[in-house]
Amino acid sequence: MKMLDPPDMWQGMVDDLLQKSSKPLIVIVGPTASGKTGLSIEVAKYINNVTLSLPNGRRSIDVVVRQAHHDVIDVAAEIINADSRQLYRHMTIGTAKITEEEMQGIPHHLIDLLDPNEEINIAWYKEKATAAIDDCHKRGVVPILVGGSMLYVSAVVDGLDPLSTDVLIRERLEKEYDVDDGWTLYDRLMQIDPATGGNFQQQNKRYVVRALELYELTGQKPSTLKKTIPPPYDILIFGMHWPRESLTRRIDERTKILLQSGWIEEVEGLLDRGYTANDAGMKSHGYREIIQWLSSEDRDLEQLAEVISRKTRAYAKRQMTWWGDDERIWWIKAVQ
């Protein structure tokens, strides 16, 4: 892993990118509860205060010119969400969705676009995210892609391209999934390709079925089938890094805070609206567990917090496994 030392070294790297690139894209990744949102605001505010001095009047980025004096221009930044859970409306507390106050005036994109029962896929997200990025570039704004959804980020920075599909195979696998809520299919996937299966859980029907569909179509492990098209951006990636013990403590503390802040009441409100544990958005970490807790006789709040924290910690581990060997990422050591 490439660690930035000192941690604020990212500022010079951002300056260099903006001086040289006509289509810059800054990406901020990291495990859940690592502080990606805070860093994104810090980077955006820094960019908003940057003034580029360009030699010979050359403009390396078509920026929004708030003050232009031949070879001096000001720059603006906007943030694009890459957290799959924050795409959904009515799911604010449990997703730790950024508030308007926390945005500090920085425009945000791809938040609150969908109802919790709407299904989405990588192709849909890639189309929306690239459209937002391209719109930023057309307006002379620097886009900052921020989030922890591994495949969504990869769809943009790696140009991950959707592969072929077969309706008949998919329908058969979906019926097999429904027999035992996916346990048999998930076990099969873990035997065939644990690298893919480890990125999601058994209850994620769409991902389990899709992975086995690709395997049956190609005879190859889905993890080896990433068809990529290089994106037309100059990309700079930062990652938030915490020691494992510190991140574990942050996850546990955040889970308790979210529960105290009304997460259970938020889930009850979603159920009152007619959404269920089988809806796409409701499969997010914690929401399904709270639904199960609400229907149980023994409502032990501490036990609920531990179940959610444990699953969140497992997800954070998968995130770091995914990004840990990516040499493009410059890791920023978080400050306690």
pLDDT digit string, tens, across residues 174-190: 999 999 999 999 999 99
What is residue 83's DSSP assignment? -
> What pLDDT, in 10s, does the model give residues 214-253?
888 778 888 877 666 778 999 999 999 999 999 999 999 9
Tokens for 273, please give them.
């609206």
Q: What is the pLDDT of residue 65?
A: 39
- Give the number of other CB atoms < 10 A from CB of residue 165: 11
Residues 24, 44: Cα–Cα separation, whole Å: 13
What domains can you pick out in the chain, each with its CATH number?
Answer: 2-162+229-244+322-333 (3.40.50.300), 167-224 (1.10.20.140), 246-315 (1.10.287.890)
> What pLDDT, in 10s, does the model give residues 123-171?
889 999 999 999 999 999 999 999 999 889 988 998 866 666 777 888 8
Residues 52, 46: Cα–Cα separation, whole Å: 12
Q: What is the pLDDT of residue 336?
A: 63
Q: What is the pLDDT of residue 125?
A: 92
Name the pTM for this structure. 0.81
Residues 231, 159: Cα–Cα separation, whole Å: 5
What is residue 84's DSSP assignment? G
Beta strands at 72-74 and 51-53: parallel, antiparallel or unpaired: antiparallel
pLDDT band of 334, cuts 50, 70, 90: confident
Q: Which among 315, 324, 119 is positioned nearest to 198, based on CA atoms?
A: 315
> What pLDDT, in 10s, does the model give residues 68-115?
444 555 679 999 999 999 999 999 999 999 999 999 999 999 999 999
Q: Over 50: is that where the pLDDT of 17 sits?
A: yes
Q: What is the pLDDT of residue 242?
A: 95
Q: What is the pLDDT of residue 226?
A: 65
pLDDT band of 58, cuts 50, 70, 90: very low
Burial of 186 (0-12, 13-18, 19+ CB in 10 A): buried
Q: Over 50: is that where the pLDDT of 57 sits?
A: no
Q: What is the pLDDT of residue 18?
A: 93
Residue 298 one-letter amino acid: D
Residues 169, 176: Cα–Cα separation, whole Å: 11
Q: What is the pLDDT of residue 168?
A: 84
Element at 305 (helix H, strand E): helix 301-323
Q: What is the pLDDT of residue 162?
A: 64
> What pLDDT, in 10s, does the model give residues 261-312?
999 999 999 999 999 998 999 988 899 999 999 999 888 999 999 999 999 9
Residues 279, 171: Cα–Cα separation, whole Å: 18
Contact 40, 81 (CB under 8 A): no
- Our CA angle for 76, 77, 78, nearest 5°, is 135
- Our CA angle for 61, 64, 65, nearest 5°, is 100
**Residue 13's Cα: distance from chain center in Å?**
23
Q: Which among 264, 288, 266, 289 is positioned nearest to 277, based on CA atoms?
A: 288
Contact 43, 10 (CB under 8 A): yes
Q: Over 50: is that where the pLDDT of 118 sits?
A: yes
